[in-house]
Structure 1
């Protein structure tokens, strides 16, 4: 294996760090409602931070599969939005330092990348890694969002039960990091937020709130949440406006609520995974929200 240190450079002084948490999320894998992305973007926008390590994206990314945006002005190129995959040092509202690893998911050299992350974890003295993302589920937005927890050891999930049995799924760089670092004896936890399937392609701030609450409970970190709550209120109001304008959509939501309540009450034993559960008027539900999703895609939260 090539030396993992070739994949990154150190950019800042972390000599004063003491057992920090490392929160990580990569764009490119399943992230219903943009739960993980919005959570990380919110933290980086609300908290002061500095870059302490940067990865070599030229080696890790396939530019032909996701081309960077360049700006052409009249007769020349004036800018290129170079992607960045980096580790940042931030402090929560109580002043506790923690690290954030974010950026595009690597296209290649996953094993070397995981080894590089392991090196940084050991160099920075990280006590626990935490990742989060959203998964689409057959649930209504009118019920509390669930969370599926997974970790390198059972005690790290605080006894949370799972709706999943033994399944084979496509891998991700985030999952590989949890797996490989668990093999090395490091603590790693992941939270998959259950997002209503009809909102999976939208930015759904409530999912990010649920994700950050789960991270806070596990790590003790305290995050600023007012801006995110305000964004969630705006989005929820827009959703309710869509529902009030459509009797068909209202009926579909009621059907989802009945299905969810039956499951929560124990009378329905099937899981609520969107891909495998029959949906009441699912096609109509998605069609009714198509305009809403397009409008949300053009807005900032």
Structure 2
């Protein structure tokens, strides 16, 4: 039997923490609009932090399925962008300490990885583990983004409703953490932000803002969101301009708004996860946005 503590290495002195929250997010699974990636990346960009522990990626990752980028200069290799699964210690705007675990989703040893996180959470006196990500939904960007909360104990998300019944879906390490650590007595919860399906492949800062606001409501942590809200406003203006320039897009968005409003008022029975045959599919809408998004990214690169 492998020792789960062999899977990570502590960095420096172990901080003495009192019931900190641990936020976790892994790249590689469903994250529509980059909701989780943008949210956690924003926190690490805006807040001072230090490394608490690093995981053994050589054991956890399959390099041949996602090869790290290396730089070749003239006649030699000069750099490699090595992946990392890293646990950080940060402080919110009120000075409250919290932990952030982020990096690529492990390809192997999922059970040992969750056991290792269990030992770390116990050692650091973690009070609650929280994850965020985005899921594509048949909703318009002109309405407030919805959220599906989930947790190891129903009391953690009291008052929230779900658009889902009982479903079977491909697993993820994030979900396995909630399942395994919840069974061991940890409080684990997550927020899935409902991202318009036609924006699922784009970076959608509004989804990250919604995710972090949900974390604040569920944990009491307070984050600096000004720059993220500015990025959200700018993106929404650009999307509105694109829609106004296309009668087809305008009609499609109007149809989505009508469908969403009917669902919200209870006059429609179909789930927002299902797309009406009269509505354009996510692929059709996404195709119309593809040129716009590519042009926007090119302009930002210039």
TM range (shorter): over 0.9
Instruction: Kindly state the Cα deviation for residue 285 of structure 1 after the two structures are TM-superposed.
Output: 2.0
List alignment gaps of at least 5 residues for structure 2.
Answer: none
Q: Contact 2:48–2:90 at 8 Å: present in 1 too?
A: yes
SS at match of 1:289: helix
SS at match of 1:288: helix
Which is further off, 93-102 or 232-241? 232-241
In structure 2, the partner of 1:211 is 211
- Cα distance in 2, alignment partners of residues 239 and 259 from structure 1: 20
Instruction: Kindly state the Cα deviation for residue 16 of structure 1 after the two structures are TM-superposed.
Output: 2.4
Q: List aligned pairs for 1:107-122, cutoff 5 A.
A: 107-122=107-122
SS at match of 2:256: helix
- Cα distance in 2, alignment partners of residues 131 and 197 from structure 1: 21
Q: Contact 1:21–1:99 at 8 Å: present in 2 too?
A: yes
Q: Contact 1:249–1:284 at 8 Å: present in 2 too?
A: no
SS at match of 1:294: helix
Instruction: Kindly state the Cα deviation for residue 234 of structure 1 after the two structures are TM-superposed.
Output: 1.0
Q: What TM-score, normalized by structure 1, do the two folds share? A: 0.96
Q: List aligned pairs for 1:3-82, cutoff 5 A.
A: 3-82=3-82
- Cα distance in 2, alignment partners of residues 8 and 82 from structure 1: 16
- Cα distance in 2, alignment partners of residues 83 and 297 from structure 1: 24
- Cα distance in 1, alignment partners of residues 276 and 2 from structure 2: 44
Superimposed CA distance per residue, residues 153-182 of structure 1 (whole angstroms, 9 cap, x where no aligned partner)? 111012201110000000000000000000
Please tell me whether residue 252 in structure 1 is matched to residue 252 in structure 2.
Answer: yes
SS at match of 2:230: helix
- Cα distance in 2, alignment partners of residues 294 and 279 from structure 1: 28
- Cα distance in 2, alignment partners of residues 52 and 22 from structure 1: 12
Instruction: Kindly state the Cα deviation for residue 134 of structure 1 after the two structures are TM-superposed.
Output: 0.1
SS at match of 2:22: strand
Superimposed CA distance per residue, residues 188-239 of structure 1 (whole angstroms, 9 cap, x where no aligned partner)? 0110000000000000000000000000000000000001001001110110
List alignment gaps of at least 5 residues for structure 1.
Answer: none
Name the count of aligned residue pairs: 299
**Kindly tell me: are residues 241 and 153 of structure 1, through their superposed partners in 2, closer, same or farther at Cα, counting changes over 3 Å?**
same
- Cα distance in 2, alignment partners of residues 13 and 296 from structure 1: 45
- Cα distance in 2, alignment partners of residues 270 and 115 from structure 1: 40
Instruction: Kindly state the Cα deviation for residue 281 of structure 1 after the two structures are TM-superposed.
Output: 2.5
- Cα distance in 2, alignment partners of residues 277 and 4 from structure 1: 47
Q: Contact 1:152–1:182 at 8 Å: present in 2 too?
A: yes
Q: List aligned pairs for 1:87-236, cutoff 5 A.
A: 87-236=87-236
- Cα distance in 1, alignment partners of residues 33 and 235 from structure 2: 11
Q: Contact 1:57–1:83 at 8 Å: present in 2 too?
A: yes
**Kindly tell me: are residues 281 and 238 of structure 1, through their superposed partners in 2, closer, same or farther at Cα, counting changes over 3 Å?**
same
- Cα distance in 2, alignment partners of residues 85 and 25 from structure 1: 10
